[in-house]
A and B are shown apart, each in its own frame.
Chain A
Amino acid sequence: MNKRQSRVFAIACTGIAALAFLILTLDSHRQFGKLTNAENITPAVTAGKDVWHDNNCINCHTLFGEGAYYAPDLTKITQLRGEQYLHAYMRDPARFYNEQTHRRLMPKQDLSDEDIANLIAFLDWVSKVDNQGWPPRPILVTGASIPGTDLTTSQQAHPTQQESAGLPPGARTVTQGDDPIALGQALFRSVAPACNACHSTAPRVNLAGPTLAGIAARSEQLVGSAEYKGSAKDALGYIRESILSPSAHIIPGPMYSANGQSFMPNTYEQNLTTEQIDQLVAFLATLK
């Protein structure tokens, strides 16, 4: 090969690849609308995108896995956390996480309630984009898809009375001043027996008990349907009933119940205060 031929090689390679790339780009434009549900890009979504950019969120978080690696991925966050949770969190992250235990804290951003609502609309649009099913497993912010993997075995063996002893290093100790949702989240892993010993909050992860991801929406549906056997009138009522009298309505499946009796302990009614139950319900109702 002489120099002239090698030049022709360079030009041909570049030309062919560029042409193919441009054709595929055109075809992608044909499909963007459908894949991204472009008709759902409402003014709120657009405004939320601007809030996202203005606050430089991408330089701590990732979205679609792109950004910085200092804070969790938010692609599917609205499918894991409900609107109330996200609202309360963005108003003041310090009420949910503690910089001493987590060693990182999101600085409070200067956001109005409207900014937050728009941001949630934007993130919700993002979560529904058809992106080849990524992530392959849910990416949680804290906790674990498989309960207990965030604890040491000795912590699991000796869950002591001391409030923080049974908590994984990633969980903060809460104080009464915290948001009721945050308090409920802490109770979820600290009551005895701990809810998260049997229930995951990650979608599709069923353990001794069914996953509680999406419990709010599912309760809504269930209460209105004919198969519902209990006495609750609405979703919140159903969640409360499931904690207080687990057998009032049975989720089908031989691993969950036998002879009309749920395997879930029925001791919570006695052991928890009304306030604690309220907090647990408040937390569970945010699990979209």
Chain B
Amino acid sequence: MRYRSQAVAYWYFAVAMVLFGLQLVFGLLSAAKYLGPDPLLYILPFDVTKVIHTNLLIVWVLTGFMGATYWMVPDESRTELHSVKLAYIQLGLWVVMGVTAIIGYLFRWGTGNKLLEQPLPHKIVIVIVMLMFLYNVGMTIKKSGRFTTTEGVLLLGIGSAAVLYLPALLHYENYTVSIFYRWWTIHLWVEGVWEMIQGGFLAYLLIRLSGADREVMEKWLYVIVGLVFFAGILGTAHHYYWVGVPQYWLPIGGFFSALEPLALVGMAMYAYGAMRRSGLAHPNTLALHWTLGSAVFTLFGAGLLGLAHTWPSVNKWTHGTLITAMHGHAAFYGAYAMIVLAMISYALPSMTHHRREQGTAIGYWAFWLQLAGMFGMTLSFATAGIGQVYLERILGLGYLDTQLKIQVHFVMLIATASLFTVGVALFIWDFFRYAPRFEVTTEVDPDMRMDAPPIPEAPRLA
């Protein structure tokens, strides 16, 4: 920790850890209901456990993004945060929002709109929290006068995420129109602005861990952002195939979304290239595992498995089956869970006592168990989904009959998810078992090393 105010990140990470653990409890409950019968049918039915599962995911990942940003910005701008107090108020408000939303879901208080179930008051609080956050970070950078490209990409990503949430606050009379705009939030988040956020963290981590040349890294970061949006914006149409919108979205969605993996290939090459050229400049090899792991697993879960069902003539058969759940899990985990875990793993040794800088043995177990578990879950959803597509969609067997025939894959899902959960439990245990320590140390900033090239293009703000 080079700056005292970076300590706020610890508390954001701690909240994220707790919510991550809870998310899995509700995931396992949902998966158990696939097998049935359900003793909780009238207490905690599937729709409730599933809403809580996905909402906790969104809340903890965003908490992680905010914590990681509060950690990264002082490093990049070489200054203390503008207001530590504001950062804590923001966290408090955010937690209250999250907890009351989850309690509300238990009583079916929600909008009943997939992934945007937050009631209107909660949505407004979310926007307010985002504004507080952007203000705090913006003022920090302004005060420091040092604004790096990496920070710029990250902030633009977070700012746009807030803007793209706004269509979700509106009411639409026509169900098809409401679907149309739902994807402005969901798709343009995960296949647009959140990838900028991931890209920003990735660049930061690679520069710190590998000592790669900042100029080169930031140049390629721009290229990746360009590719993300070139394909991702029109790629939204891969959600417009069968919902009652004009026919021309079919070829547009197919073509542009098929280009989306390009940016992800770019990101993986970027990470790999940085390591190869510059080697290791930092002892934290565990953080390095998470960083490279995120780039590679994104390529697999989002790139490959997204591509697998994005073409209209394939999606016609797979749309709305467990194939979607297969892709959703692998993509979300690789891109957004793993990048947050990478930032946590990087920051943690300097925020706690006695932690080995290279990462602990438990930390490695957590990494490999999660990877194996998530890979197994992806395969379970995939095999279940393929069975479902053939039996239900092609052969015309009834939905319920089909679900009975693919039970074995649900057993596999629960088994691999349990493995995954052990990995996550170890990560959480490893996080909390050392007491936090908030002392400012004098680590060497890679940009300030003697052999590092000067930074010509960090524009000074007024």
Contacts and interface: CB of A to CB of B under 8 A. Distances in A.
A141 B400 contact: yes
21 contacts: A32-B176, A32-B245, A53-B112, A54-B112, A58-B112, A66-B179, A70-B30, A102-B36, A103-B37, A103-B404, A104-B36, A105-B38, A122-B175, A130-B244, A131-B244, A136-B316, A138-B396, A139-B392, A139-B399, A142-B400, A170-B398
B198 to A, nearest CB: 15
Given A55-B112, A170-B404, A70 B46 contact: yes
A104 B113 contact: no
Contacts of A132: 241-242, 247, 250
Contacts of B114: 58-59, 66-68
Interface residues of A, number: 83
Contact of A145 (B232, B320, B395): B395
Give the residue among A41, A54, A107, A126 with the most B Cβ atoms within 10 A. A107
Closest 6 CB pairs of A and B: A145-B396, A65-B320, A170-B401, A53-B112, A103-B36, A134-B242
Contacts of B322: 69
A68 B41 contact: no
Interface string B240-252: 0111111111101
Given A56-B48, A62-B320, A132-B247, A107 B396 contact: no
Nearest to B41: A107
Contacts of A134: 241-242, 316, 319
Interface residues of B, number: 81
B393 A135 contact: yes
A229 B111 CA distance: 54
A1 interface: yes
Given A9-B222, A104-B400, A205-B396, A131 B229 contact: no
Contact of B108 (A1, A7, A56): A56
A73 B113 contact: no
Given A56-B48, A58-B114, A36 B174 contact: yes
Give the residue among B42, B215, B252, B316 with the most A Cβ atoms within 10 A. B316
A145 B392 CA distance: 10
Contact of B219 (A3, A18, A99): A3
Give the residue among B215, B227, B324 with the most A Cβ atoms within 10 A. B324
Interface in B409-435: none
B321 interface: yes
Contacts of B234: 17, 20-21
Contact of B41 (A41, A105, A129): A105
A195 B48 CA distance: 39
A177 B30 CA distance: 32
Contacts of A136: 316-317, 393
B397 A140 contact: yes
B320 A104 contact: no
Given A31-B245, A70-B30, A103-B36, 12 more contacts: A9-B226, A14-B230, A57-B112, A59-B46, A64-B242, A70-B46, A70-B50, A104-B403, A136-B317, A139-B392, A140-B392, A140-B398
B275 to A, nearest CB: 21
A64 B315 CA distance: 12
Contacts of A71: 399
A244 interface: no
Contacts of A236: none
A181 B319 CA distance: 31
B399 A140 contact: yes
A54 B317 CA distance: 29
A63 B114 CA distance: 11
Interface in B210-247: 215, 218-220, 222-223, 225-227, 229-234, 236, 239, 241-247
B45 interface: yes
Interface string A40-54: 010000100100111
B180 interface: yes
B325 interface: yes
Contacts of B248: 24
A3 B215 contact: yes
Contacts of A122: 175
Interface in B307-322: 316-317, 319-322
Contacts of B395: 144-146, 149
A24 B256 CA distance: 14
Contact of B173 (A6, A41, A170): A41
Contacts of B37: 99-100, 103-105
A202 interface: yes
A253 B232 CA distance: 53
A230 interface: no
B112 A1 contact: no
A169 interface: yes
